[in-house]
């Protein structure tokens, strides 16, 4: 397997397909790089070098007890970028991966980065606070943690319903296979990483991170996202990332890279070529 070893000894698995300008993908919770396979295949077929890694604790990467936080996720991404000596790269982050991309730029700058794409991203802050009244209450995230600890297999099966918008009348139908793939990825996550990552994606304030993004940035979000509601996420992020472009998908759920794959792939390719 293709592996990068970080400073604390964590082994990060990655895929590296095709050749050309590198496009580096960061996945959401509780998924793995497999969730990007259709985009990796599509872009590698279009003359790009498509790369995606499994976040620590997820997929085929190591499952350390420590480091399940946004700073370390960003540093692990940097370890992959540095090991492969990537230059002029486009960073694409979905959900938690969007936070990872923003924190990477804040901590490591854009000397290796040409553009960024935030898809259904958790930025700037999901948790409701006095300064972020549009966020979700702490009880939502406590419920996620409780569900993961009590019966994560059933919890991940149930989560596919709002994730793909399957509870919305008239929504684009997603196959049982796609829902099973989500569950399968979730079951590869170490329990500690699955639990800790909830804190990372919900309570990490990335307002200042977004202000530091100084490359062309595309922000994509569904306006019926039941996991990361657009009001406290993309609509706020677009105000913080200077010169960014916000593209809203009407009726799209959180899992729009699956339900609206052709539209997203076309928009991503157009942004890469712009």
**pLDDT, tens digit (0-9, with 9 covering 90-100), for 113-155:** 999 999 999 999 999 999 999 999 999 999 999 999 999 999 9
pLDDT bracket for residue 170 (50, 70, 90): confident
Q: What is the mean pLDDT of the chain?
A: 97
Catalytic residue ranges: 95, 225, 254
Domain boundaries, the chain: 3-273
Helices (H), the chain: 37-45, 70-83, 96-108, 138-163, 176-186, 191-203, 207-211, 234-240, 256-259, 261-273
pLDDT value, residue 137: 97
Give the rounded percent of residues in the chain with a pLDDT score beyond 70.
100
Which of 10-19, 78-87, 170-179, 209-218 shows the lowest mean pLDDT across its residues? 170-179
pLDDT at 173: 83
Cis bond leading into 169, ω under 30°?
Answer: no
Q: State residue 93 phi and psi, 5-degree precision.
A: -125, 130
What pLDDT was estimated at residue 171?
79
List, in order, residues 6 or more apart from 161 with CB less than 8 Å away: 167
**Predicted confidence (pLDDT) at residue 56 exceeds the cutoff of 80:** yes
- Identify the CATH assignment for 3-273 out of 2.40.50.140, 3.40.50.2300, 3.40.50.1820, 3.40.50.720: 3.40.50.1820
CB-based contacts of 10, cutoff 8 Å, min separation 6? 56, 61, 62, 64, 67, 76
- Tell me the DSSP string of 65-97: SS--SHHHHHHHHHHHHHHTT--SEEEEEETHH
| pLDDT(172) > 80 | no
- The span from the first CA to the last CA of the chain, in angstroms, equals 34
CA 110, 204, 106: angle at the middle one, nearest 5? 15
pLDDT at res. 208: 98
**b (16+ CB within 10 A) / e for 49-72:** bbbbbbbbbbbbbbbbeebbbbeb
Mean per-residue pLDDT, 50-54: 98
Confidence of residue 8 (pLDDT cuts 50, 70, 90): very high
Q: What is the pLDDT of residue 73?
A: 98
Query: In this predicted structure, what is the pLDDT of residue 1?
Result: 82
> Whole-structure pTM over 0.95, yes or no?
yes
């Amino acid at each position: 397997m293709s592996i990068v070893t970080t400073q604390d000894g964590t082994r990060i698995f990655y895929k590296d397909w095709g050749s050309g300008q590198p496009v580096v993908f960061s996945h959401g919770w509780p998924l793995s790089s497999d969730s990007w396979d259709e985009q990796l295949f599509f872009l590698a077929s279009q003359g790009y070098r498509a790369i995606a890694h499994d976040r620590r604790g997820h997929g085929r990467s190591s499952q350390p007890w420590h480091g399940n936080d946004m700073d370390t996720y960003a540093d692990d991404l940097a370890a992959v970028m540095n090991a492969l000596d990537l230059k002029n790269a486009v960073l694409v982050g979905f959900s938690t991966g969007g936070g990872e991309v923003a924190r990477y730029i804040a901590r490591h700058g854009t000397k290796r980065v040409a553009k960024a794409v935030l898809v259904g991203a958790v930025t700037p802050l999901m948790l409701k606070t006095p300064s972020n009244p549009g966020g979700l209450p702490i009880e939502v995230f406590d419920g996620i943690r409780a569900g993961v600890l009590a019966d994560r297999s059933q919890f991940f099966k149930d989560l596919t319903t709002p994730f793909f918008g399957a509870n919305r009348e008239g929504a684009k139908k997603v196959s049982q296979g796609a829902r099973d793939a989500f569950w399968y990825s979730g079951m590869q996550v170490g329990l500690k990483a699955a639990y800790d990552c909830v804190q990372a994606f919900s309570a990490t304030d990335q307002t200042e991170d977004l202000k530091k993004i100084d490359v062309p940035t595309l922000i994509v979000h569904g306006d019926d996202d039941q996991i990361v509601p657009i009001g406290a996420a993309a609509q706020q992020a677009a105000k913080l990332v200077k010169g960014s472009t916000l593209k809203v998908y009407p009726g799209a759920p959180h899992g729009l890279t699956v339900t609206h794959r052709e539209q997203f792939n076309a928009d991503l390719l157009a942004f890469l070529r712009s």
